[in-house]
Amino acid sequence: MDGREVVLAGFVHETRDLGGIAFLVLRDRKGLAQITLVKKMVGKEMFKSVRTISRESVVQVRGQVKAEPKAPRGFEILPTDVRVLSAAQVPLPLDPTEKVECELDTRLDARFMDIRRPCVLAAFEIESAVLRSLRDYFYGQKITEVFTPKIVAAATEGGTDLFPISYFEKEAFLNQSPQLYKQMLMGAGMDRVFEIGPIFRAEEHDTRRHLNEAISIDVEISFADDKEVMSILEGAVVEAYRYVAENCSYQLEVMGLDLQVPKAPFRRITYTEALEMASERAGVKMQWGDDLDTETERFLGETIGEHYFLTDWPSSIKPYYTLPYEDKPEICRGFDLMHPRMELASGAQRVHDYSLLVERIVEKGLDPDGFEFYLKAFRYGMPPHAGWGLGLSRLVMTMLKLENIRDAVIFPRDRRRLVP
């Protein structure tokens, strides 16, 4: 485009005054453009006005493209007109040029400006690419996209980790998971469904990997067992990495990442094998039936060093809808997908027999009457089925090597943060 007239608009990243020449660096979500003002060419008035524009103001520039190898992206703009569309106040709440670091809370308080930082914006553009790749992958697998209620009358797994809301004259809750509804859709004959949507958990965590509102990627498949849906899950993760590696080179460069696509199939390790591995650590004494703690997960991740599945969990640990083995009912067909840093997904082959499902609900200390709307679907023919739920933010966090899950959410909701 050398020699052509163009109109550009964006944020003022920085200005530099060298006397008879000045540079205005314009930034949008695709990068930087250098506007070069030579005082003799643009006149005193424009030269003076540009020098006084505050950083992060929104401006529109009309001018001629000139090839310049030393300029960002190999070109500069010689302006004929510079207009301020919206002036930024001074001082700024943080430095979008990333020259001055600031605390996470400061960044989240001014999230609108924090996202102007190229490395932050790049993470959310990659997240968008991940979602696109997953939807394309699911459509290719002939899986139907659905949407289930987020205002519900009962908890997915019982318990108290719920956000109650006032729903006219009734009590209701924000949904913890689409689990019950996607199982009901198996009874509706939809066979293969996925949903990408918010979930809410009123857990009082305050860690780098927990949030109270998250985006869950859920899949449920009829006439499938745990091994079949594990294959679909690892395929989805590999496809997400592959798509980002092939289509987000600019964003990965901004973040300084060399993304390696994981290889499938992922390693499978049973719960019992995981305990045996953990017992090799000095001072670790875990009993069969204990849930794996964070330290054990970290040890396993460091030992294995790649994505892996934890399978064949104790039935006592997993939810009531997880199918036990017929010959060993103390073990169930549940699994977790693990990244070396943390759990990414959880799934299982489900109980599809009505009587066994009621029995499992009672074993967990829950009242079957509270699940009548769900149980009804199992009385009239329910196919065997299996599925899983994958955390979008955890997938992005581990993919991009982010230190805090809040860096993978545009406006995070945690124990203390309700705004912005």
Q: Which residues are annotated as catalytic?
A: 201, 203, 209-210, 343, 346, 394
Yes or no: say if 75 and 40 are a contact pair by the CB < 8 Å rule.
no
Residue type, 42: V
User: 65-74: long-range contacts at Cβ-Cβ below 8 A with a sequence spacing of 24 or more?
Assistant: 65/1, 65/2, 65/3, 65/4, 65/5, 65/6, 66/2, 66/3, 66/36, 67/2, 68/34, 68/36, 71/34, 71/36, 72/25, 72/31, 72/32, 72/33, 72/34, 73/31, 73/32, 73/33
Give phi and psi for 331, each to the nearest 5. -115, 140
Tokens of 374: 């769900």
**Residues 6+ positions from 344 with CB-CB distance below 8 Å:** 237, 307, 337, 338, 390, 391, 394, 395, 398
| Side-by-side strand order, sheet with 151-152 | 151-152, 170-174, 164-167
Q: How far apart are CA 56 and CA 116, in angstroms?
A: 9
CA 129 to the chain's CA centroid: 11
Question: How many other C-beta atoms can be found within 10 angstroms of the C-beta atom of residue 132?
Answer: 14
Q: How far apart are CA 223 and CA 292, in angstroms?
A: 30
